[in-house]
Amino acid sequence: MIRLFVALELPAAVRERLAGLGGGVPGARWTEINNLHLTVRFIGEVENGLIPDIDEALAGVSAPAFDLVLDGVGQFGSGSRSRILWAGVERNEALFHLNQKVESALVRAGFPPEERRYTPHVTLARLHNSPQERVGRFIEDRGLFRAGPIPIGHFTLLESRPGRSGVVYDPLRDYPLEP
């Protein structure tokens, strides 16, 4: 089995700025700088033998290239449940369009549909029992964070696997968007 997802990789300069946002929240496990990305469609665990089907489906996706702007930070979840801190994405029809194209290509190829609404975000940290007051301050202090426009000319199929010190994301293949 292999754990897969489709994502946009972010340029090093953008990842550096995102990583620079970190700190000051007790109980936060910050995303390793090389792992910062924007998921387009989570696939999950599949048999290795299905990789060619996924590859073919993604290679058939045609969608226009676009610019991405990261905008603000926020959190999913609240209270003592495990939460995440994220950087948000400025409203972007082309990104939703790409998500839809990937979704329908995968469903046509026989994979189960994603039931959850697409909420584009870059995960900055996972929170474990972080005091809400500190999380709230982190978010307020970085409310003006913006990065981009970032030209997006392709999307990527990645493998997620456990590494020695946390998860490792390996890009398997890039798929071009239309110029």
122-127 vs 146-152, strand pairing mode: unpaired
Rank residues 42 and 96 by Cβ distance to ligand 2AM and give the closer one: 42
Q: Which of 28, 39, 111, 120 binds ligand 2AM (CB under 6 A)?
A: 39
154 annotated active-site: no
CA nearest 176: which of 67, 14, 61, 4?
A: 61
CB of 111 to ligand 2AM, least distance (A): 13
Nearer to ligand 2AM, 55 or 159 (CB): 159
Cα 6 → chain centroid? 8
160 near ligand 2AM (CB under 6 A): yes
CB of 56 to ligand 2AM, least distance (A): 21
* Three-state SS annotation for 29-93: EECCHHHCEEEEEEEEEECHHHHHHHHHHHHCCCCECEEEEEEEEEEECCCCCCEEEEEEECCCH
97 is catalytic: no
Among 42, 96, 145, 175, indicate the residue that binds ligand 2AM (CB under 6 A).
42
In this chain, which of 50, 51, 69, 84 binds ligand 2AM, going by CB under 6 A? 84
Q: Which residue has the tokens 């676009």?
A: 66
Query: Minimum Å distance from CB 179 to ligand 2AM?
Result: 26
CA distance from start to end of the chain? 35
- Report how far residue 90's alpha carbon sits from residue 88's, in angstroms, rounded to the nearest whole number: 7
Binding string to ligand 2AM for residues 120 to 159, with x set by CB under 6 A, is what?
Answer: ---x------------------------------------
Note the residues at the interface with ligand 2AM (CB under 6 A): 5, 39, 42, 84, 123, 160
Q: Which residues are catalytic, by number?
A: 37, 121
